[in-house]
Structure 1
Amino acid sequence: MRTRLAICRKKKRFASEADAIEAAQVATIDLRPYACDRCFQYHLTSRTKGKRRLPDVD
């Protein structure tokens, strides 16, 4: 599904997937990173359908 431009503009952007994963791991809710087809950076989403799981933090 393509990201709507209005949604992309509202979301925080991460320059790398590693930065997005780090932010998702410290969040209080389950978030997953995804590559945005609008800005070509990474955002976080709470939707889990079809998204891969984050690595476990030890």
Structure 2
Amino acid sequence: MRTRLAICRNKKRFASEADAIAAAQAATIDLRPYLCDRCRQYHLTSRTKGKRRLPAAD
């Protein structure tokens, strides 16, 4: 499913997957990073269907 442009514009962008994972692990809710097909950067989503699990935080 393609990311809508309005959604992409409103979300925080992360230059690398590692930065997005760090932000997701620091969050109080379950978030997962994904590569946006619009901006080619990473965003976070709370949707879990079809998304990879994050590595365990150390």
**TM (normalized to structure 2)?**
0.98
Output the amino acid matched with 2:23: A
Matched, 1:4 2:4: yes
Whole-angstrom CA distance in 2 between matches of 1:21 and 1:36: 14
CA RMSD of aligned residues (A): 0.4
Deviation at 1:57, TM superposition (A): 1.1
Identity of aligned residues (%): 88
Whole-angstrom CA distance in 2 between matches of 1:52 and 1:29: 16
Structure 1 unaligned segments of length 5 or more: list them: none
| Alignment partner, residue 35 of structure 1 | 35
DSSP-derived class of the 2:34 partner: strand
Q: Superposition pairs for residues 5-20 of structure 1, below 5 Å?
A: 5-20=5-20
Output the amino acid matched with 1:16: S
**TM (normalized to structure 1)?**
0.98
Whole-angstrom CA distance in 2 between matches of 1:57 and 1:34: 18
Whole-angstrom CA distance in 2 between matches of 1:46 and 1:57: 18
